[in-house]
Structure 1
Amino acid sequence: MATAKMAVAGPAVVGLERKPEGEAAELKKRNEELEAELREIRQREERMRTELERAWERLRVAEEAEERLCFQLGELEAEAVEQVRDYHARIRSLTAELSQAHNLLVLQTAASPAARS
């Protein structure tokens, strides 16, 4: 009976010895696959980081441009207000001159000899 147990145990031990070698090869292959996948992930991450940095740079440039445009718009608005005030003052001045000329004309017309006849 002891021989029967050995016979059964014999091939099982041999199979176990081969199995770890097969497992080691599988594990090595799986490890290489995982390392390759990790390299791809790191490359993708680096590309995304680079793209993010570019996007941040574009955003910074856009914000600076916006600030310059807002400044220029403020200057134009101030200039427009100044021009409106100048034009309004000129209109008041011309209106006053016109009113004086009209008053003089009325006075001259009333004082002229033809107006009396």
Structure 2
Amino acid sequence: MGPKQEEETTLSLRKRNEELERELRKSKEREEQMKQELQRAWERLKVAEDGEERLCSQLAELEAEAVIHARASHARILSLMEQLSQPRTLPSSSEKIIL
């Protein structure tokens, strides 16, 4: 191999090395971008999970309130049914009915 071929080979290897270094930089930039995107996605997931926990807690409270309200309504209905089932006395003819 002559000096000119060695110089061409060296030049070719330098160019290839520069290309590989550019590709490596681009790859590192893409990797950094992907890390940032992953971090943002993780943060969004955490916010969504926290929101889900709050909603579940609120739903449980509302369900408990609904049960309490339903029981109170049921008790009121039973009370009214009991009152309606009691025999009523009609006013006697001596009592005046006021309208």
Q: Indicate the TM-score class for this superposition, using the shorter chain for normalisation.
A: 0.7 to 0.9
Question: Which residue matches 2:81?
Answer: 95
Question: Which residue matches 1:3?
Answer: none
Question: Which residue matches 1:36?
Answer: 22
Scaled by the length of structure 2, what TM-score is found? 0.87
Question: Which residue matches 2:97?
Answer: none
Matches of 2:10 and 2:57 in 1, distance apart?
A: 69
State which of 66, 70, 93 in structure 2 corresponds to 1:80: 66
Scaled by the length of structure 1, what TM-score is found? 0.74
State which of 104, 108, 111 in structure 1 corresponds to 2:88: 104
State which of 40, 43, 47 in structure 2 corresponds to 1:57: 43
Two-structure CA RMSD over aligned residues (Å)? 1.5
1:68 equivalent in alignment to 2:54: yes
Q: Counting helix residues as a fraction of each chain, which structure ranks higher?
A: 1
Matches of 2:79 and 2:88 in 1, distance apart?
A: 17
Q: Deviations over 1:59-111 (max 9, x none)?
A: 000000000001101111111011000000000011111112xx133xx58xx
Question: Which residue matches 2:11?
Answer: 25
Matches of 1:104 and 1:76 in 2, distance apart?
A: 41
Could you tell me the percent identity over the aligned residues?
A: 56
Greater Rg over alpha carbons, structure: 1
Any runs of at least 4 consecutive aligned residues in structure 1 with deviations exceeding 3 A, and if so which?
A: none
Secondary structure of 1:104's match?
A: coil
Q: Larger relative CO (CA 8 A, sep 6+): 1 or 2?
A: 2
**1:17, distance to aligned residue in structure 2 (A):** 1.5
